[in-house]
Structure 1
Amino acid sequence: MKNNFVFLGDSLTFGYGVNKKDCWITLFESNTNLNIINKGINGSTTTDMLVRFDKDVMTFIPEKAFIMGGTNDLLCNRSISSIVSNIELMIKDLKSINSSIIIGIPPDIIVEDAYNLFMPSPTYDYCKKSLPTLKESLISLCNNYDCNYIDFYSLTKNNIQKNIYLDGIHLNPQGQQLMLNEFLKESTH
C-alpha cells in the first residue's frame, strides 16, 4: 500500500485556472510512488483549512503533509498572526502522528494584474505588503517546529518578469512547472 501525502491549501494548491494535468501537484504525482491527495480548495483561508483539517488531512494518517495558505486570509484583511496560529495548530496535530511536514510560503502577487484580470479588490495592496512578513513568520514557525518549507514567495518574486501568472495571483502552466521544480529541489532535503 502506498503511503499518503496530503496537500492542503487554497487555489494555488488546487491548480486554479489550469488543466488538472498542468497543476504542479498533479505533475509531482507522476514523479513519486506516494498516494497524493490534493485538498486544495479555491478561496480557502487558513481558518477554513483548520475547520476541515481533521477530515481532509488527519483521517488519511499522512506520512507526509504539505500546507500552504495565507493569501486569501490577507485578501480578507486578516492578520499575519492569525494565519501563523492556524498553521501552527495544524503542525502540532501532524507532529502528534509523526508526519513529515512541508510548509509552502505563498507566491507573490502582481496587484495591477490581479485587479484588472482577476477581480477588483481593495485589499491587494495590504496582501502584497504583508506577504514578505508572512514569509518571515512562516520560516520562523518552521524553524521552531523543525519543519521543512518551500519559499514560493522568493521564487515568484525572482521570476515575476517571466510571464508565470494567469491573472496576477494564480500561476499559468509555466508558473506551475516552476513551482514543481522548486518543490522537487527543496523537498528532497
Structure 2
Amino acid sequence: MILLNKKLVLIGDSITFGYGVNKKDSWVYNLSKNLPLEIINKGINGDTTPSMLNRFYEDVIALNPDYIFIMGGTNDLLCGRSIFSIKDNISEMIKDSLGKNLIIGIPPCIIKEMAENLFMPSTHYTHCKNSLPILRKELIDLCQNYSVKYIDFYKLTFDNIEKSIFIDGIHLNSLGNNIMLNEFLKVFTL
C-alpha cells in the first residue's frame, strides 16, 4: 500500500540505476518493498552532475516529489572534473529542493586496480580514487551548511570492501546493493 500517494524520486548515475545486477537485486528497486511510497528511479548509467543538474527540473522537481535523493560525482571524477564543480552542481540541486525532504548520497569508494582490469580503460582512476574521500568531506560540509540529511555510502563501502561487494571496482554486486539498501533505510524517515 502506498502511503497517501507520496513519492520518492532518486536521481543519480549507475549506482542509483542499478547497473550490473538484476533489477530485483538493485537497492533502489528494493526500496519499494520496504517503503510505502511510489519510488521513481531517475538514475542513468554514466551520468555526471552537470547532466543531472540539467535534467533536475524535468526529472525531479516537475514530478512534485515528497522526498528527493541525489547522488553523483564518481563519473565526473572519472572524466577528470574537479571536486569544486561537483559540489557546485549538487549545491544547485539542493537549492532547488529546499522545502522538500532531501537526502544526499555520498558516492561509494572505488577499487582502482579492480576497475582498471574489469571495467573500462581510463586515465583518471587515480584521480577518482584520491578525490572521493575529499569529495565526501566537501559534501558532508555542504549538507551540514544546508541542514540536509546525507548517507555516507563512501564510508559504508570502504568499511565493507573486504566483503567482496564490487563486481568491477566501481559497481556493486547484490551484496553491496543490499548493504546500501539497509543503510538508506536506517537514515530515511517518513
The one of 54, 61, 64 aligned to 2:64: 61
SS at match of 1:8: strand
The residue number in structure 1 matching 2:26 is 23
Aligned to 2:104: 103
Aligned-residue offset at 1:188: 3.5
Task: Tell me the equivalent position of 1:93.
Answer: 96
Partners in 2 of 1:188 and 1:51 — Cα distance?
Answer: 28
- 1:138 maps to a residue whose letter is L
TM-score (norm 2): 0.96
Question: Cα RMSD over matched residues?
Answer: 1.0
Q: Hey, what does 1:149 align to over in structure 2?
A: 150
Instruction: Note if 1:82 corresponds to 2:47.
Output: no
Whole-angstrom CA distance in 2 between matches of 1:156 and 1:34? 26
Q: 2:53 — aligned with what?
A: 50
Aligned partners of 2:183, 2:97: CA distance in 1, in Å?
A: 23
Secondary structure at 2:19's aligned position in 1?
Answer: coil
The yes-or-no answer on 1:38 pairing with 2:74 is no
Instruction: For 1:113, give the aligned amino acid.
Output: M
| TM-aligned CA deviation for residue 52 of structure 1 | 0.6
Q: Distance in 2 between matches of 1:132 and 1:188?
A: 26
2:140 aligned partner:
139
CA distance in 2 between partners of 1:167 and 1:104 (Å): 20
How far is the alpha carbon of 1:104 from its aligned partner?
0.2
Aligned-residue sequence identity (percent) comes to 59
The structural deviation recorded for 1:158 is 0.6
Q: Distance in 2 between matches of 1:8 and 1:47?
A: 12
The one-letter code of the counterpart of 1:181 is N
- Pairing of 1:123-138 with structure 2 (within 5 A): 123-138=124-139
